[in-house]
Amino acid sequence: MAANQKFKIGLAQMACAKDPEVNLRRALNFIERAARSGARIVCLPELFASRYFCQREDVRVFDLAEPIPGPTTRALGRAAHRAKAVIVAPIFERRAAGVYHNSAVVIDASGKIAGLYRKMHIPDDPGYYEKFYFTPGDLGFHAFPTRAGRIAPLICWDQWYPEAARLAALDGADAIFYPTAIGWHPSEKERYGARQLDAWRTVQRGHAIANGVYVAAVNRVGLEKADAESAGIEFWGSSFVADPQGAVIAEASSDREEILFAEVDFGRLETVRRHWPFLRDRRIDAYSGIEQRFLEPNPKVKKAQ
Amino acid sequence: MAANQKFKIGLAQMACAKDPEVNLRRALNFIERAARSGARIVCLPELFASRYFCQREDVRVFDLAEPIPGPTTRALGRAAHRAKAVIVAPIFERRAAGVYHNSAVVIDASGKIAGLYRKMHIPDDPGYYEKFYFTPGDLGFHAFPTRAGRIAPLICWDQWYPEAARLAALDGADAIFYPTAIGWHPSEKERYGARQLDAWRTVQRGHAIANGVYVAAVNRVGLEKADAESAGIEFWGSSFVADPQGAVIAEASSDREEILFAEVDFGRLETVRRHWPFLRDRRIDAYSGIEQRFLEPNPKVKKAQ
């Protein structure tokens, strides 16, 4: 096993078209090219099969959802088998009438589904009306064993939650993959853009450090408008890979389609965690408040005098 | 209240001498100077009253411990009252024979102790033999109300634990203060120094972002040797303040004593959290694994096919 722990991964930083067939065809092409260049894990951006439709609320969009397994996971399964690569692929999942999830499957290099993740943290912000579309996930946070290590898929908004990364790491993740769709509101970009991008990168690097895992964020690029009048969202790309000490070892452009390659070595988790033994000293007896919304002031513990 | 939420804080980045009386006198001077320049909160570095004695294990060191309240907290209380400033002050606490804590008190501007924190996460690394000296804290993670906002003291190694910062934030913290004693092993500095310092800064900026709070880290400076043969630890200073979006708004040198001032505005927490509403979407129904050491693979949830 140890000999196989050092290999290349490929993040497909795509622009997404309106037509799902076009997106799938292009994704398959990205996967094939990435694998041909040696990538043993390939990750696609969040909801890669469509435009980022959450810019407005429209019930017709649910037509885009499909079951898992379904046509897309089958096509990706064949691609994984052909390419001998693990694929992390976001799917707009139709689970039942009225129950739709923002999901991601991990497909092993055999072509079989190794695990399913349903986005747990659902945002709702101007232009990101995800609570309308996505039922919150009910499968928890997990790392799935594959031929290329234990892979934990999390999705976009999960990036801001230390709990999600921690649970993935405690489940044995070697790497956390975050398929993403995040961008600038054009009116905010000049004033707040750099700060937003920096915070996004920093909080995820923090997860890598605190947990001693690789972190890979895979974003889309391009300006997408809900309609002709809309200012749209300029997806900021900047896909990156951080090593288990939080160092950025590969980073993509903010505006171009590309495959971002990075060399990972899952054997390094052992070394890093021996030197930075954070997991050893966790105070699991004292974290119970984490499962509460907010902690009311308790005058008794405030007065130590 | 709102009018008072914008003010200056001062971090006393000190070098620490052998003699506790000298350190206390110098700390009082730092506090007085900081307050004279307008600081309404002043924070001292971890174990400011002594050299960083954890470089070796020596039972005689317990002589340095003192009760809370005790001579040091009384002197600091008088200083707080005089300076009309809140003080965050680390104390090597003697609680009972054989029960010593690495603690920090928050002293209100009235001079009274507003809260006591006992370091929860205790490291043990070559040169940082803290498990020998410090009984793990049993008071949990709290934010204490003061005349200058709700202040959560955490200490050094806690910096690497997202749970600690989260619990402080859920307890209503406006700012987390991390008195610290961290530095380079001289033999490692050239090769690993930049990476270590960057990870330390990044993980704490991540806490500011994830929780929408101010974070202030207060380190000591100077080379301290356990004995003539020892290479010692070069404490790297670099005290800093991050705003609730993780931006570093003030940062000290790596090698000089100084008071680092920063302008904070606790009213910004409201604005930042409205725009970045991470606390709204926490999945408190799904975090139960956080209270476990490690999660055994569960084959049932891995097979979603």
Dihedral angle computed from the Cα positions of residues B186, B191, B197 and B202, in that order, rounded to the nearest 10 degrees: -160
Cα distances from B213 to residues A233, B173, B188, B271, B286, in angstroms, run 27, 7, 33, 11, 24
Give the angle subtended at the CA of B101 by the CAs of B98 and B103, to the nearest 5°.
160
- The C-alpha of B109 sits at a distance from chain A's nearest C-alpha, in angstroms, of 15
CA–CA separation, B25 vs B23, rounded Å?
5
Q: Looking at residue A72, what is its pLDDT?
A: 98
Q: Name the CA radius of gyration of chain B, rounded.
A: 19
- Which of B155, B102, B158, B104 has the alpha carbon at shortest distance from B132? B102
First-to-last C-alpha distance (Å) of chain B: 56
Q: Is B167 on the interface with A (CB under 8 A)?
A: yes
Q: What is the pTM of this model?
A: 0.96
Cis-peptide, bond into residue A69, ω within 30° of zero: yes
Instruction: Give the pLDDT score at B4.
Output: 75
pLDDT at B298: 57
pLDDT at position B49, please? 98
Q: In sequence order, which ranges of chain B are alpha helices (DSSP H)?
A: 20-36, 71-83, 130-133, 162-170, 186-211, 268-275, 299-302
Contacts 24+ apart (CB under 8 A), B134-140: B134/B100, B134/B101, B134/B102, B135/B95, B135/B99, B135/B100, B135/B101, B136/A283, B137/B101, B137/B102, B137/B103, B139/A301, B139/A304, B140/A286, B140/A289, B140/A301, B140/B167
Q: Which of residues 124-163 of A touch B (CB under 8 A)?
A: 125, 136, 139-142, 144-145, 157, 160-163
**Which residue in chain B has the smallest CA separation from A120?**
B283
Based on DSSP, count helices (H) and strands (E) in chain B, helices before strands.
7, 15
pLDDT at B3: 52
**ipTM for this prediction:** 0.96
Q: Out of 3.60.110.10, 3.10.580.10, 3.30.1490.20, 3.20.20.70, select the CATH number for domain A6-291.
A: 3.60.110.10
* Smallest CA–CA distance from A194 into chain B, residue: B247
Nearest Cα neighbor of B11 from B167, B170, B175 is B175
Flag if B121 and A282 touch (Cβ within 8 Å).
yes
If we measure between CA atoms, which residue out of A32, A107, A29 comes closest to residue A69? A107
Residue pointed to by tokens 């799904």: B286
> CB A301 to CB B142 under 8 A?
yes
Q: How far apart are CA A266 and CA A261, in angstroms?
A: 16
For residue B101, how many other CB atoms are within 10 A of its CB? 25
Who among B116, B163, B202 is closest to A304 (CB)?
Answer: B116
Select the residue of A140, A141, A290 nearest B167 (Cβ to Cβ). Answer: A290
Q: Which member of A16, A43, A46, A234 is catalytic?
A: A46
Q: Which of B119, B130, B224, B234 is catalytic?
A: B119
How do strand A233-236 and strand A221-224 relate by DSSP bridges? antiparallel
| Chain B: closest CA distance from residue A197 (Å) | 11
- So what's the pLDDT on residue A301? 55
**pLDDT value of residue A197:** 98
Query: Who among B115, B247, B295 is closest to A171 (CB)?
Result: B295
Binary contact (B210, A161; C-beta < 8 A): yes
| Alpha-carbon gap, residue B30 to B42, rounded angstroms | 9
Q: How many other C-beta atoms are found inside a 10 Å radius of the C-beta of residue A187? A: 9
Q: Let me know: does A178 contact A150? Beta carbons within 8 Å.
A: no
> What's at A174, amino acid-wise?
D
**Number of CB atoms found within 10 A of residue B234's CB:** 19
pLDDT in tens, chain B (305 residues): 445 799 999 999 999 999 999 999 999 999 999 999 999 999 999 999 999 999 999 999 999 999 999 999 999 999 999 999 999 999 999 999 999 999 999 999 999 999 999 999 999 999 999 999 999 999 999 999 999 999 999 999 999 999 999 999 999 999 999 999 999 999 999 999 999 999 999 999 999 999 999 999 999 999 999 988 999 999 999 999 999 999 999 999 999 999 999 999 999 999 999 999 999 999 999 999 999 999 976 555 555 44
Residue A83: half-sphere exposure toward Cβ, Cα within 13 Å:
30
What span, in angstroms and rounded, lies between the C-alpha atoms of A154 and A172? Answer: 14
- A108-127 pLDDT, tens digit per residue, is 999 999 999 999 999 999 99
Nearest CA in chain A to B297: A171
pLDDT at A1: 43
Q: Where are the domains of chain A?
A: 6-291
Q: Is A59 on the interface with B (CB under 8 A)?
A: no
Q: In a structure prediction context, what are the per-residue pLDDT tens digits for chain A, which is 305 residues long?
A: 445 799 999 999 999 999 999 999 999 999 999 999 999 999 999 999 999 999 999 999 999 999 999 999 999 999 999 999 999 999 999 999 999 999 999 999 999 999 999 999 999 999 999 999 999 999 999 999 999 999 999 999 999 999 999 999 999 999 999 999 999 999 999 999 999 999 999 999 999 999 999 999 999 999 999 988 999 999 999 999 999 999 999 999 999 999 999 999 999 999 999 999 999 999 999 999 999 999 976 555 555 44
Could you identify the residue written with the tokens 């009984």? B135
* Facing B247 at nearest CB: one of A114, A165, A195: A195
Taking the alpha carbons at both ends of chain A, their separation in whole angstroms is: 56
Sign of the torsion formed by the C-alpha atoms of B79, B80, B84 and B86: positive
Q: Phi and psi (nearest 5°) for B22?
A: -65, -45
- Give the Cα separation of B118 and B135 in Å (integer): 9
Under an 8 A CB cutoff, do A283 and B160 touch? no
pLDDT confidence of residue B284: 98
Interface test with B, best of A88, A141, A163 (most B CBs within 10 A): A163
Q: Which of B155, B255, B153, B169 is nearest to B212 (CA)?
A: B169
Nearest to B167 among A160, A171, A289 (CB): A289
